[in-house]
């Protein structure tokens, strides 16, 4: 301050030395009006001062700022969200033995002429033995029962099918007709009745066949001659030999028993394809299934009289290049359990012609193994079968996984960006974007319907972007990646990111197989298939803004009052402001002056600070320098001189009243230099 007054004082003294000697200095007042120039403060701002760096604010190689908000796994879909193999309930079935084929049987019986003659009272025939004589005619009934042996392959049998033929060879010298009853050798009850007519003499043959259906043959069979007729030889002499036979022979065909004590030959009793239902309970259609682990558990309970060989074959299966095929021996009358390992097996589930999906075929072939022993068999004898699939873990599934909608769990995006807290007003980004990075190993078309909104004062601002089909693999085991982009060309993203906003939320849904006409129905997954979506929001500072508020301190803890001489008075003052800026912002500047306790003393509006002029890309390339003066009266000047603290507050718009987008770069600066010139009145 003393330096400021020195020239003025020298000038005063010089004037005094030029006065006449007759003038009394004590009676002369000399008044001076010096000017004091005083710097008050400055603000030198770079973008690092305005935009406090944090994790959301970055700049790229051309020094243009961007707001980056990244959020991993904003949605995810696991394979179990789409499809799973439910736990399987045991499957029960049975093989009933039913009728059993048995070997054909035969039995023969010779009846001599002498026995018949004796039983029928034909004494003349016995008397003529060994001679030639006329053979009398016969018309006899209930002659007698002959034989009594049984069939060697069974002791008792009830037949469901088959025939029994009685053949007659006539060695007598005359033709005969016979009625023969096949009778129970023990009880005499008639089993079958035969009629054989006009069998020629001397070796003639005749037969009759009867059905065995629902007939039971005992272990002792007799032949009862119920009737015997012959015309005899008339007056012709024939050789009479009472040892001549009527030869009876039993033969059978197509024998099947439903109850018997018999020998069983080795034979197939069942051949069938059964199906295990692997449906998931929805509209899914499984066409191929590969088990990484699986057990096919079985239990067989047999009431059969002989051992059974059961062949289980899985048509269309592939385990290490071979069809799964297993033969199991099931002991007669026993329970047999076990497991077939299906680890690593690929199954074709399309082999049921009535439902060409989700059905596991099992070809079951049962062979009853004859031991040669006499066993008691019954058609109700059965093999009860229980099958169960356990320890199911699939390696891959192919098919159609149905149409369904899965809701994306709602979430929020944190936009509490520190540097924005330096500003009031509204910022509208011209080129914001949302990129959704997709990683997908699920082989089916999925449509993303993204519900993305920002909120301010209860009003939602929706993204309204397109519904994308997520990138997906077309080869089993591969992974597809891609990026879904929402920008100002395909959405209302500018409205969403016009800041400030109270909150931002996301949600929505994914639609599975939403358009089968376009994409088909061939889907696949592996056990590790999944989809994840990562969110990346970019807001380059190519923006428009209005009403941005900025506040900073120009000077503090000043003590300028003491610079004035005791006899000096303030007449006026001029505030001097110089602004140098490469910010693309116009600002209306207000200065506030405070006392030591931060009580407001004076507020002055310095008017508009103009930004530099941006080029076509929105960048200010040349600094704009503006000098501003503001006249103060004596009272305002005194207030400025007495002020301890000075702050600057600016309300800023981007260039051209916020209508032209501009870019905010890291090298942009704003310098404010504030000074004051005081006009004094000093009497010397």
Average pLDDT, integer, range 617-622: 85
At residue 498, the 3 state secondary structure works out as strand
Of 19-28, 41-50, 103-112, 451-460, give the lowest mean pLDDT range: 19-28
Average pLDDT, integer, range 503-510: 90
Residue linked to tokens 């500018």:
494
Average pLDDT, the chain: 87
CA 5 to CA 9: how far, in whole Å? 6
Average pLDDT, integer, range 514-538: 93
**DSSP per-residue letters across 42-72:** EEEEEHHHHS---TTEEE-TT-BEEEEEEEE
Answer for the pair 386, 298: CB distance below 8 angstroms, yes or no. yes
Percentage of the chain surpassing pLDDT 70?
90
Query: Is it true that the peptide bond before 500 is cis, omega within 30 degrees of 0?
Result: yes
Answer for the pair 411, 306: CB distance below 8 angstroms, yes or no. no
Evaluate the CA torsion angle 645, 646, 652, 657 in order and state its sign.
positive
CA 617 to CA 545: how far, in whole Å? 16
CA 183 to CA 164: how far, in whole Å? 13
CA 562 to CA 287: how far, in whole Å? 96
CA atoms within 13 A on the CB side of 487: 11
pLDDT band at 415 (very low <50, low <70, confident <90, very high): low
> Shortest CA distance to 620 belongs to which of 610, 630, 628?
610
What are residue 367's DSSP bridge partners? 268, 309
Buried b (16+ CB within 10 A) or exposed e, 267-294: eebbeeeebbebbbeeebbbbbbbbbeb
CA atoms within 13 A on the CB side of 353: 1
CA 565 to chain centre: 89
Average pLDDT, integer, range 374-386: 93
The enclosing H or E element of 100 equals strand 100-101
CA 449 to CA 468: how far, in whole Å? 7
pLDDT band at 17 (very low <50, low <70, confident <90, very high): very low
Evaluate the CA torsion angle 328, 332, 338, 342 in order and state its sign.
positive
Q: What is the pLDDT of residue 62?
A: 55
Residue 213 has pLDDT above 90, yes or no: yes
> pLDDT tens digits for 458-485?
999 999 999 999 999 999 999 999 999 9
CA 124 to CA 118: how far, in whole Å? 10
CA 479 to CA 115: how far, in whole Å? 98
pLDDT band at 226 (very low <50, low <70, confident <90, very high): very high
Buried b (16+ CB within 10 A) or exposed e, 138-166: bebeebbbbbeebbebbbbbbbbbbebeb
CA 456 to CA 84: how far, in whole Å? 43
Residue 50 has pLDDT above 70, yes or no: no
Of 95-109, 217-231, 260-274, 665-679, give the lowest mean pLDDT range: 665-679
Of 96-100, 546-550, 586-590, 606-610, give the lowest mean pLDDT range: 546-550
The enclosing H or E element of 493 equals helix 493-496
Q: What is the pLDDT of residue 344?
A: 96
Whole-model pTM? Answer: 0.70
E strand intervals along 243-380: 245-263, 267-277, 285-302, 308-313, 325-330, 335-341, 346-348, 359-368, 374-378
Answer for the pair 326, 339: CB distance below 8 angstroms, yes or no. no
DSSP code at position 318: B
Average pLDDT, integer, range 110-128: 92
Q: What is the pLDDT of residue 278?
A: 86
> Shortest CA distance to 363 belongs to which of 252, 272, 464?
272
Q: What is the 3-state secondary structure (H, E, C) of 121-163?
A: CCHHHHHCCCCEEECCCEEEEEEEEEECCCCCCEEEEEEEEEE
Q: What is the pLDDT of residue 10?
A: 32
CA atoms within 13 A on the CB side of 605: 5
Beta-carbon count within 10 A of 48 CB: 10
CA 452 to CA 506: how far, in whole Å? 4
Residue 21 has pLDDT above 70, yes or no: no
């Amino acid at each position: 301050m003393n330096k400021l007054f020195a020239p003025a004082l020298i000038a005063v003294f010089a004037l005094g030395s030029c006065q006449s000697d007759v003038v009394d200095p004590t009676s002369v007042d000399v008044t001076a009006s010096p000017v004091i120039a005083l710097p008050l403060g400055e603000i030198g701002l770079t973008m690092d001062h305005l935009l406090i760096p944090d994790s959301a604010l970055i700049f790229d190689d051309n020094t243009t700022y961007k707001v980056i908000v990244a959020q991993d796994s904003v949605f995810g879909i696991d394979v179990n969200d789409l499809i799973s193999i439910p736990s399987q309930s045991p499957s029960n079935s049975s093989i009933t033995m039913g009728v059993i084929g048995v070997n054909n049987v035969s039995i023969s019986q010779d009846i001599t002429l002498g026995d018949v003659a004796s039983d029928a009272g034909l004494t003349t025939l016995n008397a003529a033995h060994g001679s030639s004589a006329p053979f009398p005619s016969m018309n006899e009934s209930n002659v007698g029962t002959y034989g009594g042996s049984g069939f060697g392959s069974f002791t008792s049998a009830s037949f469901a099918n088959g025939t029994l033929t009685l053949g007659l060879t006539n060695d007598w010298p005359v033709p005969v007709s016979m009625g023969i009853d096949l009778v129970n050798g023990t009880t005499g009850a008639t089993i079958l009745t035969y009629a054989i007519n006009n069998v020629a003499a001397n070796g003639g043959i005749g037969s009759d066949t009867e059905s065995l259906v629902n007939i039971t043959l005992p272990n002792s069979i007799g032949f009862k001659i119920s009737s015997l007729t012959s015309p005899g030889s008339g007056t012709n002499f024939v050789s009479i030999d009472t040892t001549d036979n009527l030869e009876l022979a039993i033969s059978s065909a197509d024998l099947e028993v439903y109850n018997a004590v018999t020998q069983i030959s080795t034979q197939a009793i069942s051949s069938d394809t059964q199906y295990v239902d692997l449906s998931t309970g929805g509209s899914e259609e499984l066409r191929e299934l590969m088990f990484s682990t699986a057990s096919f558990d079985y239990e067989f309970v047999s009431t059969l009289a002989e051992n059974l060989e059961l062949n289980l074959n899985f048509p269309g299966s592939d385990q290490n290049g071979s069809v799964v095929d297993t033969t199991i021996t099931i002991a007669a009358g026993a329970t047999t359990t076990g497991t077939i390992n299906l680890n690593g097996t690929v199954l074709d589930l399309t082999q049921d012609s009535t439902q060409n999906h989700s059905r596991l075929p099992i070809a079951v072939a049962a062979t009853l193994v004859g031991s040669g022993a006499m066993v008691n068999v019954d058609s109700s004898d059965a093999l009860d079968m229980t099958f169960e699939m356990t320890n199911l873990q699939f390696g891959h599934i192919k098919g159609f996984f149905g149409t369904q909608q899965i809701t994306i769990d709602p979430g929020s995006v944190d936009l509490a960006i520190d540097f924005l807290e330096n500003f009031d007003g509204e910022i509208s980004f011209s080129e914001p974007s949302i990129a959704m990075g997709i990683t997908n190993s699920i082989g089916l078309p999925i449509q993303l319907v993204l519900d993305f909104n920002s909120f301010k004062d209860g009003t939602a601002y929706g993204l309204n972007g397109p519904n994308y089909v997520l990138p997906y693999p077309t080869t089993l085991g591969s992974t597809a990646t891609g990026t879904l982009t929402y920008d100002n060309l395909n959405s209302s993203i500018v409205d969403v990111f016009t800041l400030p906003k109270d909150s931002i939320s996301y949600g929505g849904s994914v639609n599975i197989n939403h358009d089968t006409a376009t994409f088909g129905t061939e889907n696949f997954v592996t056990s590790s298939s999944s989809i994840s979506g990562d969110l990346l929001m970019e807001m380059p500072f190519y923006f428009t803004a209005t009403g941005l508020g900025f506040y900073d301190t120009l000077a503090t803890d000043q003590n300028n009052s003491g610079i004035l001489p005791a006899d000096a008075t303030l007449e006026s003052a001029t505030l001097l402001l110089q602004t140098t800026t490469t910010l693309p912002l116009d600002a209306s500047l207000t200065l506030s002056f405070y006392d030591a306790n931060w009580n407001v003393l004076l507020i002055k509006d310095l008017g508009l600070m103009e930004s530099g002029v941006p080029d076509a890309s929105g960048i200010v390339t040349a600094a704009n320098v503006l000098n501003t003066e503001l006249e103060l009266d004596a009272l305002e000047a005194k207030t400025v001189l007495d002020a301890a603290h000075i702050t600057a507050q600016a309300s800023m718009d981007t260039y051209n009243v916020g209508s032209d987008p501009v870019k905010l770069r890291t090298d942009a600066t704003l310098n404010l230099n504030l000074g004051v010139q005081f006009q004094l009145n000093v009497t010397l």
